[in-house]
Amino acid sequence: MEEVAYLDRIEQAETLLKPHRLTVLKELATPSTCGELAARLDQSPQRIYYHVKRLQAAGLVHMVAERKVRGLTEGVYQAAARKYWLSPAIVGTLEDSSRHGDDQNLARLLDLSEQVQRDIATLDSEAARLPSVGISGDIRVLPAQREEFLSALQGALTELFTRYGGAEGDAFKVAIACYPVSEGRS
């Protein structure tokens, strides 16, 4: 089972976002047959089989084994991943790109978060070591110090990019997001 499945096709989203299928998918965190799922969910095996096959066709579920039960072969299914991320590209951009100032900066942050999500989802989770770091924190800046703070942040990043921006060595993506926090949501 993968850690993350990144869904970038509308058919996958349509398959996933049906409440009953989502319930079936959650149950398939543990490998199960359609009969076992039917008993746990108090549903008919045929109904469960239908939904499992739709999830399998979308790549959200895999058959991981087969069993012989009373002369019949029964599939054992498991969710393809622990988490499912829906790409914002499924919907696309719905407005023009004539934003300016802070609106444009916030739009760039949304694009950046999508890029980070896509990049992380496509990393080889089987690799021996994936060196990475994630840091998050809140900083309080007085309105009179905002420009000074942003300038200091930009200067520190420029110094890092200059120091480590050569053509040799392992490539890393550095993404920094700085945005206001809504009161009560910090």
Q: Tell me the CATH number for domain 2-85.
A: 1.10.10.10
Burial of 152 (0-12, 13-18, 19+ CB in 10 A): exposed
Query: Among residues 136, 132, 114, which one has the least CA distance to residue 171?
Result: 132
pLDDT band at 168 (very low <50, low <70, confident <90, very high): confident
At position 182, the amino acid (one-letter code) is S
Domain map (residue ranges) of the chain = 2-85
Residue 4 φ then ψ, to 5°: -135, 135
Residue 186 has pLDDT above 60, yes or no: no
How far apart CA 83 and CA 4 sit, in angstroms, is 5
Residue 120 has pLDDT above 60, yes or no: yes
Predicted pLDDT at 20 = 92
Query: Among residues 27, 29, 72, which one has the least CA distance to residue 48?
Result: 27
60-107: pLDDT as tens digits = 999 999 988 788 889 999 999 998 888 877 876 666 556 555 566 777
Predicted pLDDT at 109 = 79
Predicted pLDDT at 122 = 74
Mean pLDDT computed over every residue of the chain: 84
Predicted pLDDT at 125 = 63
Residue 166 has pLDDT above 80, yes or no: no
Write down the pTM of the prediction.
0.64
Mean pLDDT, residues 137-141 taken together: 87
Lowest mean pLDDT among 2-16, 60-74, 96-110, 141-155: 96-110
DSSP codes joined into one string, 132-159? -----------GGGHHHHHHHHHHHHHH
Contact (CB, 8 A) for 4 and 123: no
Contact (CB, 8 A) for 122 and 154: no
Burial of 5 (0-12, 13-18, 19+ CB in 10 A): buried
Residue 23 has pLDDT above 80, yes or no: yes
Mean pLDDT, residues 129-158 taken together: 87
How far apart CA 60 and CA 80 sit, in angstroms, is 5
Predicted pLDDT at 97 = 56
Mean pLDDT, residues 109-134 taken together: 75
pLDDT band at 28 (very low <50, low <70, confident <90, very high): very high
Contact (CB, 8 A) for 40 and 46: no
How far apart CA 41 and CA 23 sit, in angstroms, is 9
Strands 81-86 and 2-7: parallel
Ordered alpha helix ranges (H), 8-145: 10-16, 19-27, 34-41, 45-57, 101-121
Strand partners, 62: 78
